[in-house]
Structure 1
Amino acid sequence: MNARIKKIRGDLKLTQEEFGKILGVSRNAIANIESGRVTPGDTLIKLLLKEFNIDKHWLETGEGNPGENHLSEQDIKLADIFANITVDSNSSKNKKIKNIIETVFMLDEEYIDALEVLASGLVNKKEKAK
């Protein structure tokens, strides 16, 4: 996968710094991914697929056409959200969102279900207040 990521960047004629900025990571992170020292996480992969319209199967295996992205609309929306949180990580709101996400990952499914109901209720209450 690292060679294909390097190929994407090379085809776009972007420096590691420019490529990293688009993906919300440092030049060093891109260098480590391209060299194979680090495997990119799911969030970065989803963002890469969305930003550059890359096919996930091609990125993972090298098989098929690199230019056909098959992400769901929800995955694309989440990639956008995570990219915004990562790029503007110093804002108070985004720090709180990151903390909430980290906390939710530690919960059992029954608590996640309850949290989903609570969050939906809060959004509905906010929309009715408008």
Structure 2
Amino acid sequence: MDERIKELRMSVGLSQKEFGVRIGVSDTAVSKIERGERNPSEQTILSICREFNVNYAWIMEGLGEMFSDLPETLLDQVAEEYHLDELDKKIVKSYMQLTEEKRKVIKEYLHNIFINEKDD
């Protein structure tokens, strides 16, 4: 499981600290889990699955795909309703995987653009 957790973290492009913040543990705990020095609690495993939409069977036993299909289904539904193309979908999916801090920076940037447009 330690290797799968590291693989997941690397695939979402997060440092151990950023990953830990997202699942509610310290970067030291993430490091120990990835090195096999500590087993994650069931709560930590569930947090990983919920936060990153990871397939529980994959993280526990390496069965199936890394990510669950549910968000793809939801994203596909939203894409259909709002006529999103593949680039739109990729942007939305990537945005959802960002840390809260990085999303805040993007929201502030977009807010400034939209507010400035309204003022013009």
Q: TM-score, normalised by structure 2?
A: 0.56
Partner of 2:18: 18
Root mean square deviation of aligned Cα:
1.4
Identity %: 36
For residues 43 and 69 of structure 2, the distance between their equivalents in structure 1, rounded to whole angstroms, comes to 15
For residues 42 and 63 of structure 1, the distance between their equivalents in structure 2, rounded to whole angstroms, comes to 18
3-state SS in 2 of match to 1:5: helix
Partner of 1:37: 37
Contact 1:55/1:67 (CA < 8 Å) preserved in 2? yes
Amino acid at match of 1:46: L
Contact 1:56/1:69 (CA < 8 Å) preserved in 2? no
Moved over 3 A (4+): none
For residues 55 and 18 of structure 1, the distance between their equivalents in structure 2, rounded to whole angstroms, comes to 20
Cα deviation, residue 55, structure 1: 0.7
3-state SS in 2 of match to 1:58: helix
Structure 2: tracts of 5 or more residues without a match = 71-120
Partner of 1:27: 27
Q: TM-score, normalised by structure 1?
A: 0.51
Structure 1: tracts of 5 or more residues without a match = 71-130
> For 1:1-80, what aligned pairs fall within 5 Å after superposition?
1-68=1-68
Cα deviation, residue 69, structure 1: 6.9
